[in-house]
Chain A
């Protein structure tokens, strides 16, 4: 570790327990380091949790569950795949995964951006939320397994379906089950039976593209995709039909 070089610090995480690794990250950030590269990561949980500066963290390997949980500002780039719970309740910052991510990606996120190059597991974006200026974004390059956007209460989720052929529908079911806020933009097609009961489906309007375009551009920048190729296919908008779908369930 070279503390004197304030711009880039390398950590070899081989055999290091997650608590020790996170302590090291906190210490480096306190010392003003702005770029950190972690090598040989293999299952260490909570990497980058709770960090609140603008530091860049490059991860090589397979970070463990709850990557960047409660994170508040850093940019975390994973050169590999992420596991379950990536971006758990993050508040601000960015996660870029050059591979796939596991279940409950972006769960309960309340701000920040997550870009996944390939696909994600079950329950992506479960209970993402938003408040005033805080609006989390989850962009998925391929597609999601079942229950994407479950109980979604806010934020933006984008499913690009880049692994799907023209006309091939997204495979996930129970999409947006319990959704009562936020929006899902889905590139390609999906059938009604795949959607949660609370979800409405619509064509995009001009104001939707104003939200979508810069996010797609950012995705392309991260993963070197052609913007035009992505925007050439039709998008659908999935939205919550009710803000309080069960508001009357317990009221007589």
Chain B
């Protein structure tokens, strides 16, 4: 394994207290919108971070290549780039390759090289049902064995832009005001237990899943070991990474409904399970037995996105904040209501979900649903 310590912490802090900012916006009609508002909103929570990490995930930004896997890869050396590019050529047809556009800014110093590739795998892996796993294995291979190379994102028609800086500085650096997408998530970092480096900024992703997170996952060790058994290897030195892989495992591989997945990550208390009706109780107990090693312990508020859905979830006793705003077909998620009001002052609804209750925005359905309805549906199917 390569050396993963790339430190860029100008404050020389070993540990600081934590208060990241998260912000997400989705157009439930699937209409694409510019990132200007999201950048403004996350910048309004500037004081929650400390400039040691900022990032964005955008969905629907590459319509011209929407059927190709879009890889954003960070290189810390020319040698690493050579190693990885020769591997990419082995595994994929590279349809297009270019530098991720960026501009020189006063605030971002020593940026790494970041290249994006639009990759076709039809000829290498024609079976559509195996393509995602093929890509996942390639990403894990690059992250764990190719020198100085880290895949920031590798899904279709989506991308992660991130680095060391305040989120608004990262947005300026990557010219994000020029992109349009129908889901945006963003993050301002206040690193808790790990070093600040470009790979450690949020969002974390695998395939088209992305996660931004405020909090700290104290179950990181057990979660990491559990995921290793399924071929997921943590290389980014930040606890949040396990959430991205957990979601991919639970939803894509194990095909759990989103609402059930939320019950795995933030299971109901034993005292709540005791009072549940029999069938619901049976389900809750089964989830805790089967998935005990992947439940998330510790405080968290997360936004999980993939094509078609944006999910907000906090730990069961909401040790980190999350507030929701709705306006026509826009849904906003934020650490603070003021950030939403800044870009959408006249909300139809502003509310705060209960801890452990996922808030799910879906394309076309134009409605928010909480857990209960889907859990009942899952039970009645049994």
Is A145's CB under 8 angstroms from B352's CB?
A: yes
Within 8 A of B (CB), among A164-204: 171, 174, 193
A249 CB to nearest B CB, Å:
21
A177 CB to nearest B CB, Å:
10
Known: A42-B44, A102-B323. A122 touches B338 (CB 8 A): no
Complex CA gap A65/B339 in Å reads 12
> B200: CB under 8 A from chain A?
no
Within 8 A of B (CB), among A95-142: 100, 102-103, 121-122
Complex CA gap A78/B98 in Å reads 51
**A interface, over-half SS:** loop
**Smallest CB-CB A-B distances: 5 pairs:** A43-B338, A62-B338, A62-B341, A122-B318, A42-B338
Q: Number of A interface residues at 8 Å Cβ cutoff, please give it.
A: 24
Known: A43-B342, A146-B355. A81 touches B350 (CB 8 A): yes
Hey, which chain A residues are within 8 Å of B355, CB to CB?
122, 145-146
Is B354's CB under 8 angstroms from A145's CB?
A: yes
B343 CB to nearest A CB, Å:
10
> B275: CB under 8 A from chain A?
yes
> B47: CB under 8 A from chain A?
yes
> A72: CB under 8 A from chain B?
no
Is A193's CB under 8 angstroms from B271's CB?
A: yes
Is A83's CB under 8 angstroms from B338's CB?
A: yes
Known: A102-B352, A147-B317. A193 touches B275 (CB 8 A): yes
B358 CB to nearest A CB, Å:
16
Complex CA gap A145/B47 in Å reads 26
Closest B residue to A63 using CB positions: B338
Hey, which chain B residues are within 8 Å of A61, CB to CB?
338, 341
Complex CA gap A144/B268 in Å reads 19
Hey, which chain B residues are within 8 Å of A92, CB to CB?
none
> A64: CB under 8 A from chain B?
yes
Additional A-B contact list (6), CB under 8 Å, known A81-B350, A122-B318, A147-B317: A45-B47, A61-B338, A64-B336, A80-B341, A121-B352, A122-B355
Closest A residue to B347 using CB positions: A81
Hey, which chain A residues are within 8 Å of B47, CB to CB?
45
A230 CB to nearest B CB, Å:
23
Complex CA gap A45/B317 in Å reads 24
Within 8 A of A (CB), among B298-353: 317-318, 321, 323, 336-339, 341-342, 350, 352
Is A145's CB under 8 angstroms from B318's CB?
A: yes
Is A102's CB under 8 angstroms from B271's CB?
A: no
List chain A positions with a Cβ less than 8 A from chain B.
Answer: 41-43, 45, 61-65, 80-81, 83-84, 100, 102-103, 121-122, 145-147, 171, 174, 193
Provide 15 A-B residue pairs closer than 8 Å at the C-beta atoms, listed in order of the A residue: A41-B338, A42-B44, A42-B341, A42-B342, A43-B45, A43-B336, A63-B338, A80-B341, A81-B337, A81-B350, A121-B352, A122-B317, A145-B318, A145-B352, A146-B318
Hey, which chain A residues are within 8 Å of B350, CB to CB?
81, 100
Complex CA gap A61/B275 in Å reads 42
Complex CA gap A80/B318 in Å reads 23
B322 CB to nearest A CB, Å:
10
A185 CB to nearest B CB, Å:
23
A242 CB to nearest B CB, Å:
21
Hey, which chain A residues are within 8 Å of B44, CB to CB?
42-43
Known: A42-B44, A146-B355. A83 touches B317 (CB 8 A): no
Complex CA gap A65/B334 in Å reads 13
Is B321's CB under 8 angstroms from A102's CB?
A: yes
Within 8 A of A (CB), among B262-317: 271, 275, 317
> Which residue of B317, B323, B337 contacts A146 across the interface (Cβ within 8 Å)?
B317
